[in-house]
Amino acid sequence: AALSSSAAEGEEDPLIEQVVGGGDELGELDAEAHFASFERRFGRTYRDAGERAYRMSVFAANLRRARRHQRLDPTATHGVTKFSDLTPGEFRDRFLGLRRPSLEGLVGGEPHEAPILPTDG
Amino acid sequence: LPDDFDWRERGAVGPVKDQGSCGSCWSFSTSGALEGAHFLATGKLEVLSEQQMVDCDHECDASESRACDSGCNGGLMTTAFSYLMKSGGLQSEKDYPYAGRENTCKFDKSKIVAQVKNFSVISVNEDQIAANLVKHGPLAIAINAAYMQTYIGGVSCPFICGRHLDHGVLLVGYGSAGYAPIRFKEKPYWIIKNSWGENWGEKGYYKICRGPHDKNKCGVDSMVSSVTAIHTSKK
C-alpha cells in the first residue's frame, strides 16, 4: 500500500531522475540497469536466480519509495543506498534496535530529569 | 547559545562505526555519548566498546521488569547508562571489539576505561537540548528512521514524519543553515552521527531540520539524554 502511486507521482522530479529513468513506472530495463549498478557498488551477491529476482523487485519498490521520499522531503537527497534491496520491515528489524521505553519512562516523573540551563547570554 | 556548534571540530567524537545486521543502535548511541563525556572529563578521546553492552547489559526498566536491554534485539540508552553505573564502566573497543551478534559476557572490570558519574533526561525543548549539548558534550537521542533508508544527503525535513521512535543515534552538533542541493532552501539543522558506516548518508552523518517551524521533526527532540563521566586512571 505504501507504494501506491498517488496522482502526485506523475510530477517530474529532477533529483530522483538521476537515480531512476524518466516516466512514472520503472521500465524493466531501467530497474535491471540500476539494480546491476547497485550490486556492483555494494558488492551484493544472492543465493540463486530466484533470490536475485526477488531482491530486484524489492529494489524497484524502494526506488519508487525513494522518489516518494524525495517529494515529501525536498531539502534532502534521497535515492539508492546500501539498504535498497531490503524491505522496510527487514531494514527496521536488522538496522535499528531502539526498545520502546516503559510507560513510566514516557509519562515523566523521570528521576534523572536534567536541570534547566540558561540559554540567553 | 552559539549559532553553530560541532563537537567533531573539538575532538569529542570518535570514528563512525557500523552496527551491521544487529539491532544494537542503542549501544552505539550510549558509547558515543560516553566517549564525548570521557573526553570532556579527561581531554582524551577513547573509542569505547558497544559489544560489552550487547553481551552484558540486560538491565531492565526500573518500572517494568519485562522491558530490558537485549543485545541485537534492542535496548534503551538510559537503561544502558544505568547498567554502566552498576557495572562500574565501559571497556575500550580495542579490549572488547564489536562482533555484531550477542555472545557470552566477557566483561573485565580491570579494563574499564570510562565510568559514568550520572546521566540526565533533557526536556523536549530545542534550546535546552542545544544548551546541554554545548555543556555536556554529544547527546544520546532517539529518532524515527522512516526516511533514513533512502537518505543520501542534505538537510532532511519531511513534510510528514511520524514521531514514534525506533532508532538510537548521537547528536554531535547543530548548524544555523544548510543548503539542499536543488532547492537552496536554508534550514537550521541538527548534526547526527549514525552507526551504519561511512558509506551511508553524509560520511555516516545525518542532518535533520530544527527550529521554530520544524520542532521535534521525526521525534528527534523527544528522547534526549546526557551523561557525565568520571576520570578513571587505568590500572
Predicted local confidence at residue B186, as pLDDT: 76
**Active-site annotation holds for B167:** yes
Which residues of B fall within a CB distance of 8 Å from A67? Answer: none
CB contact A17 to B (< 8 Å): no
Q: What angle do CA B38, B166, B17 make, to 5 degrees?
A: 45
Residues 26-45 of A with CB under 8 A from B: none
B147–A73 C-beta distance less than 8 A: yes
Residue of A nearest to B202 (CA): A77
Please report which confidence band the pLDDT of residue A3 belongs to, taking 50, 70 and 90 as the band edges. very low
**Options B38, B157, B167, B218, the catalytic residue:** B167
pLDDT in tens, B102-130: 999 999 999 999 999 999 999 999 999 99
Q: How many CB atoms lie within 10 A of CB B72?
A: 19
The answer on pLDDT for B222 being more than 50 is yes
pLDDT in tens, A53-82: 999 999 999 999 999 999 999 999 999 999
The region of weakest confidence among A30-44, B67-81, B105-119 is: A30-44
The answer on pLDDT for A103 being more than 70 is no
Nearest to A77 among B121, B131, B154 (CB): B154
Nearest to B121 among A91, A97, A112 (CB): A112
| Three-class HEC string of chain B | CCCCEEHHHHCCCCCCCECCCCECHHHHHHHHHHHHHHHHHHCCCCCECCHHHHHHCCCEECCEEEEECCCCECECHHHHHHHHHHHCCEEECCCCCCCCCCCCCCCCHHHEEEEEEEEEEECCCHHHHHHHHHHHCCEEEEECCCCCCCEEEEEECCCCCCCCCCEEEEEEEEEEEEECCCCCCEEEEEEEECCECCCCCECCEEEEECCCCCCCHHHCCCCEEEEEEECCCCC
Which residues of A fall within a CB distance of 8 Å from B147? Answer: 69, 72-73, 76, 78
Residues 75-114 of A with CB under 8 A from B: 75-84, 86, 88, 91-105, 110-114
Q: What value does the mean pLDDT take over residues A36-58?
A: 95
Predicted local confidence at residue B235, as pLDDT: 39
User: For a pLDDT cut of 90, what percent of chain B falls above it?
Assistant: 87
A81/chain B closest Cα distance in angstroms: 6
The answer on pLDDT for A102 being more than 70 is no
